Structure 1
Amino acid sequence: MTALSTTARIAVIGAGAMGAGIAQVAAQAGHPVLLLDNRPGAAAKAIDGIDRQLGKRVEKGKLSADARRVTVARLQAVESIEDLAGCALIIEAIVENLEVKRALFRQLESICNEQCILASNTSSLSITSIAAQLERPQRLLGLHFFNPAPVMALVEIVSGLASDPALADCLYATAKAWGKKPVHTRSTPGFIVNRVARPFYAESLRLLQENVADCATLDALMRDAGGFAMGAFELTDLIGHDVNYAVTCSVFDAYYGDNRFQPSLIQKDLGDAGRLGRKSGHGFYSYADGAERAQARTTSSERTVATCVVEGDLGIANVLVPRLREHSIEVISRDGQGLLRVGDAVLALSDGRMACQRAKEDGLCNLILLDLAFDYGTANRLAISCAAGIDPDALEDGVALLQQAGFSVSLLSDSPALAVLRTVAMLANEAADALLQGVASAADIDLAMRAGVNYPAGPLTWADTIGLVHILRVLENLHASYGEARYRPSLLLRRRVAEGSRFHD
């Protein structure tokens, strides 16, 4: 089905930040747009705000004055829901309350013609449930934008149980015509992004709870090693702990208490204390004037390394070899089980076991485990862990090797799968379950996580790159360490490993 014509009138109900942003997107794409809010004067005020924002873009040379004028001219504030009768698409962006949304759409159904598409921007409520009381539930779908709507590329096209697939295709084409990156998803709790992203927050929160590292160090590792735009603590401070915690609770409750989505007591405490993040001036970090920003902890060495030995295949960490040579370190290669030796230290990519456990089980003295990096060739920070009884000289040799190769080294307490590897494995596992359950395609899941939350790679593609055998091993070892269903590997992951295939084959 083709996109809606730019002559089609669009309506947006709710003139808050999200509703105003959606109205701006539609107007910039060429549609006449009606904006309605139940607060007197709010719609007109929102349009004035859009005009000012576009004016700033004009001042910066990012938008022509004529484009600003034309866009604003397409926006019209209305005061009555009856004014929306002739619209081709009506998008609701009001309070996240099921009964309020149901009542609104029942009212719209009585006003609008049968060809009008009804859409909700809900981020957490079931489209199936919202539509259930309509006479024609097939006309209601989810059109989930991300904040700020004019900037964020992703739009989730959400189909409920009764939603017309042709209308979903129409909204997909329309969002694409608006310059967005749309994805199709079924109406399941959290849709794609708010479901698959839960481990990104949850694993950092658990590592903090277990005193593996502090907030600043874990955030730096997610950015500087993992390639994420922000770490979990600075991101939740930005989102607001009330909002992020509520979404986690919503997904947790919707999945009947599945502990994969269990909320964090640490985040609850922040909310209870009113430390909501940037908007309150304090969250994991302080945002008061003059507050000093916490710095990541770095372990350093004064030693110089001349030679190291690589035994066998280091897997995804093989990129370390040319990097070591580029930093004037002689690398001697020989057969072996995927180890890197320097002095008395033995370095290995984590397989999900604790260093103390792996050293004992594999008979490796002075073992140092390496965390995952998105790109070992360009990352500027890397986490390591080791058993408590490691020889201090061996630890310093390992740190010196990595430091000389250009890494800032963060030593974590001995914990299964360290930080980045644990997080990426869990993201891939959740994405695999979403794929298994038909929530979305592999391509749409990966696109959603790149475009919606700026991940450096889609979790399924990332897992393919690391190797599904290794991801499964990490999850199995996490599961064995904790004994919790939270870390159970997805059935689809197990199937793909047994088949010798990948997620994107």
Structure 2
Amino acid sequence: MNKFTTDSVIAIIGGTMGAGIAQVAAKANHQVLLFDVAKGAAEKGIDNIRKGLGKLVLRSRMTQLELDALVSRIVPISDIKQLSSADLVIEAIVEKLEVKQMLFRQLEDICHENAILASNTSSISITAIGAKLLRPQNLIGMHFFNPAPIMKLVEVISGLDTDKQVADNIFELAINWGKLAVHAKSTPGFIANRVARPFYAESLRVLQEGATDIATIDALFRECGGFKMGPFELMDLIGHDVNYAVTCSVFEAFYQDQRFLPSLLQKELLDAGHLGRKSGRGFYQYPQNTQTENSKQQPDLALDTQLITIEGDLGIAETLLPLFENNGLKINRVPAADHQQTSEGRIIIGDAILMLTNGQFTTQRATDLKCPNLVHVDLSLDYQKAKVIALSPCSTLSLQALNCVIALFQTIEKTVVVIDDVPGMVLMRTVCMLANEGFDAVNQQVCNEDAVDIAMKAGLNYPCGPIKWANNLGLSFTLKVLNNLAITYGEDRFRASPLLQRKVAQQQLDVIKKSITTG
């Protein structure tokens, strides 16, 4: 199977998304044939490309000559038979299996036998599409993310019969087009749409349990987690008809695996016709700025002590300590107590004890530790840069102790929000579930670990790949959070990936081996 060069002719079939892909291919100096069954749609797509690139010319990011040259490489086609010279045909049409099968079967008769046929599908099995083809080995998934000229990710999806050389050539082509490509096996949701389900599901669950409000959850994702948008803002932007349909599709495709269970809250919005921005109402009302100030923000309080004690290792939260010291607080560091483990360190100030949430109710952990003034702290991507700190006190925490903790974080110029006692809080449970899904995709041979992190960052703008985030948090701690969630809820939804369990066991075994060697 020959590799692609700039002499290779690329054909694109389908509307708005197709025009974006055509722009990407033309920018890489290919001749591009753009076809759409709707009369005038290809010409309209080219006009839209010209208008979009015109804005770059106005900003001096592109010359008029470069614009004209790029657009001249895209030729509108009115008859599908004119695609006979194409070396690669990428379809971006309606998401219906039978329609795609019919199109590709037609293309097999039109194009030469070595032509590669690619689907931009986001959800349909490449194996299923190929089942009706004469040359399924030449069929590949080439999943771009919208808008294709801007978003970097391309998922290269191999069906059961896809030739490995075809997959490798398409991967290389995507790289040459300036994309970040990842290999994946044809399974429901591929990588990004599968791994992303907990981003929505955990926040919907936290909201359903009344731990806090919509605006606060979104604020925590932005200001603590470093995400561009919170889950409710993003669902409103995508549209609940689309987002809910994808969730249901993945849920059904995985034989109703509880990890992908759709939310009744989102179904209620859909049933009411509240589709998000497109309908003027979703979780928020539109038009308005959705990034509403959260209602859990605490008033300013004065700190009546300058001494804090750090007991044990704070793990990922160790980066808080320089902030405390730089703001005049005195730190008394002591070893962990015998009953404590690494990453279960604590901050003691006044009567209050702070610990990173571990997937339990704060109240349950307080009971287990016989610590009636326990406060859980939620995860942050970077505690030094985070603008907000989220706290969840146990039910017996005194108001005086809570105010002391709030004042502590306000001293280091953090906005403090207090949410009700919910297992794993908001970001911790979400990140651990995202990582768990990523590990499970790897365990099931869908892709490798690097592909998970690349897909989530380049395809969905995550601030950090979930597997890298879990490694930063500590795999043993990530597993502990998941196991505690599973115990608390008693649901298969929170079961830990076998790969994550194996990795943690391997780390523990390495420690044992090292102690034996050095002992």
| TM-score of the pair, normalised by structure 1 | 0.97
2:318 — aligned with what?
318
Question: Partner residue of 1:405?
Answer: 412
Amino acid at match of 2:70: T
Does residue 11 (structure 1) correspond to residue 14 (structure 2)? The answer is no
Shift of 1:276: 1.4
Q: Which amino acid aligns with 1:126?
A: S
1:454 to partner: Cα distance: 1.2
For 2:333, what is the secondary structure of its paired residue? strand
Contact 1:93 1:120 (8 Å CA) reproduced? yes
CA deviation map 1:257-305 (0-9, x unaligned): 00100111111111222221122222111122x6785311212342124
Identity %: 51
- Local SS of the residue matching 2:422: coil
RMSD, matched Cα: 1.4
Structure 1 residue corresponding to 2:497, chosen from 490, 495, 500: 490
Q: What do the CA deviations read for 1:279-332 (whole angstroms, capped 9, x no partner)?
A: 2222111122x6785311212342124221111111111111111111221111
Residue aligning to 2:513? none
Provide the rounded CA distance (Å) in 2 between the counterparts of 1:331 and 1:206: 37
On the 8 A contact 2:233/2:290 being kept in 1, the answer is no
**Secondary structure of 1:95's aligned partner:** coil
Other-structure match for 1:49: 48
Equivalent residue in structure 2 for 1:354, among 361, 366, 370:
361
Partner of 2:515: none
Shift of 1:359: 0.5
CA deviations 1:74-98 (Å, max 9, x no partner) are: 1111111100011000000000000
Structure 2 Cα separation of the partners of residues 293 and 127 of structure 1: 39
Q: Within 2, Cα distance between the matches of 1:97 and 1:355?
A: 47
1:14-413 equivalence runs, <5 A: 14-15=14-15, 17-288=16-287, 294-296=292-294, 297-304=296-303, 305-336=305-336, 337=340, 338-413=345-420
Counterpart secondary structure, 1:147: coil
Work out the CA distance in 1 between the residues paired with 2:76 and 2:390.
53
Aligned match of 2:438: 431
- Cα distance in structure 2, aligned partners of 1:71 and 1:287: 38
Paired residue total: 500
**Residues 361-392 of structure 1: CA distance to partner in whole angstroms, max 9, x if unpaired?**
11112100011111111111111101222110
Q: Would you say the 8 A contact 1:2–1:174 is kept in 2?
A: no
User: CA 1:293/1:194 → structure 2, altered by over 3 Å: closer, same or farther?
Assistant: closer
Partner Cα distance (1:70, 1:265) in 2: 51
Cα separation, partners in 2 of 1:138 and 1:203, compared to 1, 3 Å: same
Contact 1:300 1:403 in 2 (8 A): no
Q: Which runs of 4+ in 1 moved over 4 A?
A: 290-293
Residue 481 of structure 1 corresponds to 488
Asked if 1 retains the 8 angstrom alpha-carbon contact of 2:251 and 2:262, the reply is: yes
Contact 2:284 2:290 in 1 (8 A): no
> Is 355-364 or 268-277 further displaced after alignment?
268-277
In structure 2, do the counterparts of structure 1 residues 279 and 3 end up closer, same or farther at CA, with 3 Å as the change threshold? farther
CA distance in 1, matches of 2:315, 2:160: 43
**Unmatched 5+ residue regions in structure 1?**
none
Corresponding residue for residue 474 of structure 2: 467
Normalization by structure 2: what TM-score? 0.94
**CA-to-aligned-CA distance 1:168-225 (integer Å, 9 cap, x gap):** 1111111111111000000000000000000001001111111111111001111111
Partner SS state of residue 6, structure 1 = coil
Q: Could you tell me which residue of structure 2 aligns to residue 447 of structure 1?
A: 454
Instruction: Give the distance between the partners of 2:275 and 2:161, measured in 1 at CA.
Output: 38
Letter of the structure 2 residue corresponding to residue 21 of structure 1? G
SS, match of residue 142 in structure 2: strand
Structure 2: distance between partners of 1:110 and 1:382: 61
Change (3 A) 1:12 1:292: closer
Residue ranges of structure 2 left out of the alignment (5+ in a row): 510-519
Q: Kindly state the Cα deviation for residue 445 of structure 1 after the two structures are TM-superposed.
A: 1.1
CA contact (8 A) 2:219 2:291 kept: no
User: In 2, distance between residues paired with 1:272 and 1:43?
Assistant: 35
Amino acid at match of 2:112: N
In structure 1, distance between residues paired with 2:299 and 2:407: 7
Aligned to 1:85, the other structure's residue is in SS state helix
What is the distance in 1 between the residues matched to 2:12 and 2:148? 13
Deviation of 1:63 after TM superposition, in Å, equals 1.1
Amino acid in structure 2 at the alignment position of 1:488: R
Contact 2:155 2:184 in 1 (8 A): yes
Contact 2:301–2:410 (8 Å) recurs in 1:
no
1:20-43 deviation digits (Å, cap 9, x = unpaired): 110111111111111111111111
Give the 3 Å change call, closer, same or farther, for CA 320–293 of structure 1 in structure 2.
closer
Q: Distance between the aligned counterparts of 1:292 and 1:156, measured in 2?
A: 31
How far the C-alpha of 1:66 sits from its partner, in A, is 1.1
Distance (whole Å) between structure 2 residues aligned to residue 153 and residue 127 of structure 1: 21
Shift of 1:3: 4.9
Alignment CA distance shift 1:132-1:219 (3 Å):
same
Q: Give the secondary-structure state (helix, strand or coil) at the position aligned to 1:410.
A: strand
Rounded Cα–Cα distance in structure 2 between residues aligned with 1:117 and 1:487: 40
